[in-house]
Amino acid sequence: MIAIALGILLLAQNYTAPRTPDGQPDLQGIWQVRNTASWDLQDHTGGYKIPAGLGVVEGGEIPYLPSALAQKKKNFENRLTEDPVEKCYIAGVPRTMYLPFPFQILQTPDAVVIASEYVHTWRWIPITPLARYEGYESWLGDPRGHWEGNTLVVESVGFNDQTWFDHVGNFHSDALKLIERFTRTAPDTLTYEVTVEDPKVFSRPWKMRMPIYQHKDMTRVLEDECYLNAEDAGKPIRGGHPEDRGTPAAPQKER
C-alpha cells in the first residue's frame, strides 16, 4: 500500500502539463475545488452553515497584527449578515477561486481569462506588459501575469477593502498584494498557491495552497445570479449609504 502511494506520488512529480499549440502550459478547462476553504481557511470542525474541513494555510496560522484582531472578531460575530458572499457580492481574489462553483480557464498567447459561474465574475490576466490605472481599486484587483516554467504567476494590487477570504471573517485592507501561482500537477489537477501580503493587517506575508480539480462533465459553466435569485425569493439585498436611506429632506431652495 505504501509502495502504491509512493508510486502515485512519483508519477505526479513526473507530470508535465501539455502545451497549447502556441507553446504555453495548458491550464484550460473547467475547474472547481473540493475543499471548504470558502467557509474557513483554517482547520475547522463543522458549525452552523459551515461544513467541516482541513485548512489550506501553510503553517496553519494567519499572522494578524494585534491591531487587526478586533476587526476579525467583529467580522466573525456578524458573518451571517456581513460576509460579502452572504450579500451576493463579488467574492474577490483569491476566494473566487475556491468558491463552491466551477470556473473556466481559457488562454491565448497574450492573456488568461478566468470566468466563474458565481455572479458572472470574470478575470482577464494580461501576459503582455500593461500599465495600471493609478488609484484604481476594484473587488477583484488588477492582475498582471507571466509564465515561470510551467507555472502561471499572477501579481495583483488595486484591491478595495470590501472582500473577505472566507465566511468566518478573515479579511484584508486596500493595501492587499497577492501573488498567485497556478501549476497543472496532474491531468485533472491544478495546484494553486497564493502569497498574501498586507502590511495594514498582517505582520508578515503568508501562504495558502490547495488542489483544484477538473470537471469532465461540462461544456460550460452555468449561472449563479445570487442577488437576482434573492430578489425572486422576496429577499432583495439593498446596499447603500446609511445616510441616504429614506432620509426626509429638509426644505431647500428650488430653482
Integer CA distances (angstroms), 25 to 63, 100, 183, in order: 34, 25, 9
C-alpha cell at 209: 495552497
Which one of 219, 233, 234, 235 is in contact with other proteins (CB under 8 A)?
Answer: 219
Q: Is 140 in the site for other proteins (CB under 8 A)?
A: yes
Q: By CB under 8 A, which span of 9-17, 95-103, 203-211, 247-255 interacts with other proteins? A: 247-255
C-alpha cell at 188: 485533472
Cβ of residue 254: shortest distance to other proteins, in angstroms?
6
Which one of 50, 63, 71, 139 is in contact with other proteins (CB under 8 A)?
Answer: 139
* Contact between 168 and 79 (Cβ < 8 Å): yes
In angstroms, the CA 157 to CA 134 distance is 11
* Contact between 153 and 159 (Cβ < 8 Å): no
Torsion of CA 194, 169, 176, 213, to 10 degrees: 20
Cβ of residue 15: shortest distance to other proteins, in angstroms?
22
Tallying the residues shown for the chain, one arrives at: 255
Nearer to other proteins, 36 or 104 (CB): 104
Cβ of residue 33: shortest distance to other proteins, in angstroms?
20
Which one of 62, 88, 196, 210 is in contact with other proteins (CB under 8 A)?
Answer: 88
Nearer to other proteins, 3 or 249 (CB): 249
Largest CA-CA distance found in the chain, in angstroms, rounded = 86
Binding site for other proteins (CB under 8 A): 20-22, 28, 84, 88-90, 104, 106-109, 111, 113, 115, 119-122, 124, 126, 130-131, 133-140, 162, 219-220, 222-223, 225, 227-228, 231, 236-241, 243-255
